[in-house]
Structure 1
Amino acid sequence: MTFLFSGPNGDRTKRAFMAGLVGLLVNLMLGVFKILAGWQSGFLSVMGDGFNNITDMGSVVLLMMTFYYAAKPSDKEHPFGHGRLEYINSTVMAAVILYVGITLLVESVQKIIHPRNTEFTVFVAIILVIGLLAKLFLAWWYKRAGEKIGSKAFEAYSADSLSDTLSTSGVLVATLAEYFFGIQIDGIMGCLMSLFILWTGYSIMKNAVNSILGATPDKEVYRKIKECILSCPGVYGVHDLIVHDYGPENHFATAHVELDSSLNLVESHELAENVMTTLRDKLNVQATIHADPKAVSNPREAEYRRDLESAIYRTRLPLSYHDFFVEEKKGEIHLSFELALTGPCKLKDKEIYDEICSHLKAINPEYTVETMVDRNFISGKLYGWDEEEVKEIAGRNKEK
């Protein structure tokens, strides 16, 4: 139990428990009073709203258990921690919400076909108004908690509470309509309420499953990591940043950083180590850094970059470039870079390579090109690399 409120996520877990306890108590009181009011009056939609509060209470208990287990440190079986339990919790909660919505829809349709007498009381109206205000409070409370601790699970609970305010409003309209106008719309409002519940469950399920599958993390996470890397001394650029989400505040990253090509292996290693340490200390991000050479001391590099940008412009293709490096050798100017698509493109990688090469050769016949196309973080085949030269370098290293 000592791990629960200690360690880097201890304060976060404590706040989550406090937010969950408030939601637990509010849903318990609402559920009991609504079920009692619905049973006495015969309003099925009121009882359904009460049972929805009870399921919300169970969901909050599940959420608190999730934070309990997610706070556990990594172990041999789970080297990346237990943070994704929050996403699994959201999936389970969504399944419960979908079940409640389907059940209520079936019962509401049956009541439309076979209407039953109901009895309006002031007690029912008071309970519904209190429930409406309480759910508005919970929607704000969960949203505030989600923003403070960075939890999508609490944001999902906030959305669920907000949808509950709409359904409770529908139930209140049904009871008043029947009392003042004698119109029985309880079953219809129950159907509408169930549709709201089903839509909420679907939305939560979709977001949770996307997080488990590996959806793109929030743009703010990328921005902070990039800014942190670029703040490190000796770093001239960063690209190919990939962030792996293992739960809120539990991110792993890989990135390519541009370092001065004149540095030796030991110096490049030290700079890369500094970047990894900075990310771990400032953002609690575990990172693997790949060093890319940048010809900082070459006064003609800017000219070569402009030629490449001109060639890309002339192709009229939706392309951007990164990981640019130039090497002048054997009477040739060897350009090495990677291309990324900024929009839809029907051409294959080899066709893109041929287009770029032809335009660069037209600008300067001494250019030779080595490039690949990145599509959604997936690197394609490398075109233009000199296989014989690689074997020659490997052979010299072997002789040493």
Structure 2
Amino acid sequence: MQKLLVKLFIKDYQKIHDSKVRSRYGTLSGIVGIISNLILCSMKIILGILTASLSILADGINNLTDAGSSVITLIGFKLSSVPADEDHPFGHERIEYITGLIISFFILIIGFSLGKESITKLIHQDVTQNISIIVIIVMIISILIKLWQSIFYRKMAKAINSEALVASSKDSLNDCISTAAVIIGLILFKLTSWQPIDSILGIVVAIFITISGLKMVFETVNPLIGTKPSQDEIDAITKKILSHSGIIGIHDLVIHHYGNCTTFATVHAEVPSDEDIVTSHDIIDNIEREFRNELGIDLTIHMDPVDIKNPQTNELKEKILHIVKDISPDLSIHDFRVVYGETHTNLVFDVAMPIKFSCTKKELRELIISEIKKIDENYFAIIQIDQLYNRNEQ
């Protein structure tokens, strides 16, 4: 069903990295959510009034808030597709994350409201009346609709990698559990006339929904704060750059995501120092153009000339690397060069240090310098400690 709807209503549906196509996915998801939730809301509110069941009525109001969430999703995708402007040069795609955060807060409100209502019912022992097999069947049908809705959202989220639709999918699944609890409560009350059962199940479901909402808040906040890129993405970028002749190695790779379609990256690429600078620069330009055209990544490359043919420099580099690796296998070095003088020799290099490390940058620098002095008192180390953003630099 999801594939059919996508093919019918989304033009160029396979171009998922196009912001306009992503917006169409979001629009379709929002419209499907609004229509299906309004149908469910109408059914349950009518049933709740006819049966004098507060739990069914509350479930219907829950679906009404879901329709509101679908409206927010729809608006969020529309706003996130707005092109970059002077005040927002990186575009507006992160609005989609804010949409997911708003939906997460809706889920938290629903969880708290259901818990409050269930506790109130438990205290006052409200009685559910006029429960028939027709009511049970209609509620089961509503679960099936919500389950389909959850699967639909999940597939759409997977297609375009959308946190907002992931949140909507989990919200729909929570609704299935909530409605199932209402049905179980109605059936058990019908069979046993034990009044507290509906309230107890409601409290359990409220706790589940609240925990789920809290998890979703963290999941949607993380992209806004900024997270480490996936190792697959790091490996793919590294492999593609190193596939070009004239590139010896890379380091200091930093990736910034401003949504799913806008990515900026910077990296230092090592090139042979004896290579013509115009030739190396042309290679760098070609790589940057290739990333922009093929992957949609705005890549900026800093060129680092490296002397790979001087045996004395290479020998010193190996000694320094051995010192650094003895301190910790998680450390690495780059931009190594040697400046010879009449009275002493400067060893200039950078050390990449993980975010969580056993000592400070100052302590690490002093430790490396002390070990270098053991090799030769005339070696002066000039060390820049960099943050290690990914493991490919080792």
- Whether these two folds match at TM > 0.5 is yes
Q: Equivalent residue for 1:381?
A: none
Cα deviation code 1:72-125 (max 9, x no counterpart): 211122111110110111122122222222222222211111122212221221
**51 and 230 in structure 1: CA distance in 2 versus 1, 3 angstrom threshold:** farther
Equivalent of 2:149 in 138, 151, 156: 138
Equivalent of 2:107 in 77, 97, 106: 97
Q: Equivalent residue for 1:42?
A: 52
Alpha-carbon distance between aligned partners in 2 of 1:131 and 1:121, rounded to the nearest angstrom: 16
Alpha-carbon distance between aligned partners in 2 of 1:125 and 1:94, rounded to the nearest angstrom: 29
Shift of 1:33: 1.3
Alpha-carbon distance between aligned partners in 2 of 1:156 and 1:96, rounded to the nearest angstrom: 10
Cα deviation code 1:150-208 (max 9, x no counterpart): 21211121222222222222222111111112222222222222222222322222222
Shift of 1:289: 1.9
Cα deviation code 1:347-386 (max 9, x no counterpart): 3322211221232343455644222223465xxxxxxxxx
Name whichever of 318-327 and 89-98 sits farther off.
Answer: 318-327
Alpha-carbon distance between aligned partners in 1 of 2:319 and 2:305, rounded to the nearest angstrom: 19
Equivalent of 2:37 in 21, 24, 27: 27
Q: Equivalent residue for 2:3?
A: none
Which amino acid is 1:252 matched to?
Answer: F
Q: Equivalent residues in 2 for 1:162-241 (5 A)?
A: 162-184=173-195, 185-241=197-253
**324 and 85 in structure 1: CA distance in 2 versus 1, 3 angstrom threshold:** same
Helix, strand or coil at the partner of 2:87: coil
CA contact under 8 A between 2:336 and 2:347: conserved in structure 1?
yes
CA contact under 8 A between 2:354 and 2:387: conserved in structure 1?
no
Which amino acid is 2:268 matched to?
Answer: H
Equivalent of 1:18 in 28, 31, 35: 28
Alpha-carbon distance between aligned partners in 1 of 2:287 and 2:324, rounded to the nearest angstrom: 32
Q: Equivalent residue for 2:281?
A: 269
Tell me whether 1:256 sits opposite 2:268 in the alignment.
yes
Equivalent of 2:172 in 156, 161, 170: 161
Q: Equivalent residues in 2 for 1:321-332 (5 A)?
A: 321-327=332-338, 329-330=340-341
Helix, strand or coil at the partner of 2:331: strand
Name whichever of 321-330 and 58-67 sits farther off.
Answer: 321-330
Shift of 1:254: 1.7
Alpha-carbon distance between aligned partners in 2 of 1:74 and 1:175, rounded to the nearest angstrom: 53
TM-score for the superposition, normalised by structure 2: 0.85
Alpha-carbon distance between aligned partners in 2 of 1:232 and 1:49, rounded to the nearest angstrom: 59
Alpha-carbon distance between aligned partners in 2 of 1:375 and 1:126, rounded to the nearest angstrom: 60
Q: Equivalent residue for 2:74?
A: 64
Q: Equivalent residue for 2:137?
A: 126
Q: Equivalent residue for 1:341?
A: 353
Which amino acid is 1:102 matched to?
Answer: F
Alpha-carbon distance between aligned partners in 2 of 1:56 and 1:216, rounded to the nearest angstrom: 32
Helix, strand or coil at the partner of 2:337: strand
Helix, strand or coil at the partner of 2:112: helix
Q: Which runs of 5+ in 2 are unaligned?
A: 1-9, 390-394
Tell me whether 1:86 sits opposite 2:92 in the alignment.
no
Name whichever of 138-147 and 20-29 sits farther off.
Answer: 20-29
Alpha-carbon distance between aligned partners in 2 of 1:232 and 1:321, rounded to the nearest angstrom: 23
Shift of 1:333: 5.8
CA contact under 8 A between 1:98 and 1:201: conserved in structure 2?
yes
Q: Equivalent residue for 2:5?
A: none
CA contact under 8 A between 1:326 and 1:333: conserved in structure 2?
no
**188 and 57 in structure 1: CA distance in 2 versus 1, 3 angstrom threshold:** same
Q: Which runs of 5+ in 1 are unaligned?
A: 378-400
Shift of 1:275: 2.5
Helix, strand or coil at the partner of 1:351: helix
What's the C-alpha RMSD, in Å, of the aligned pairs? 2.7
**138 and 301 in structure 1: CA distance in 2 versus 1, 3 angstrom threshold:** farther
CA contact under 8 A between 2:338 and 2:346: conserved in structure 1?
yes
Shift of 1:5: 7.0
Which amino acid is 1:166 matched to?
Answer: I
Which amino acid is 2:133 matched to?
Answer: V
Cα deviation code 1:291-330 (max 9, x no counterpart): 2222233345554443223212433x46411424233533
CA contact under 8 A between 1:20 and 1:64: conserved in structure 2?
yes
Tell me whether 1:371 sits opposite 2:383 in the alignment.
yes
Helix, strand or coil at the partner of 1:289: strand
The alignment of Structure 1 onto Structure 2 pairs a total of residues equal to 374
Alpha-carbon distance between aligned partners in 2 of 1:342 and 1:76, rounded to the nearest angstrom: 36
Helix, strand or coil at the partner of 2:126: coil
- What is the aligned-residue identity percentage? 32
Shift of 1:148: 1.0
Q: Equivalent residue for 1:75?
A: 85
**308 and 12 in structure 1: CA distance in 2 versus 1, 3 angstrom threshold:** same
Cα deviation code 1:26-49 (max 9, x no counterpart): 222222212222232233332222
Cα deviation code 1:3-61 (max 9, x no counterpart): x9799322222233223333332222222212222232233332222222221121112
CA contact under 8 A between 2:325 and 2:331: conserved in structure 1?
no
Shift of 1:230: 2.4
Which amino acid is 1:33 matched to?
Answer: M
Q: Equivalent residue for 1:362?
A: 374
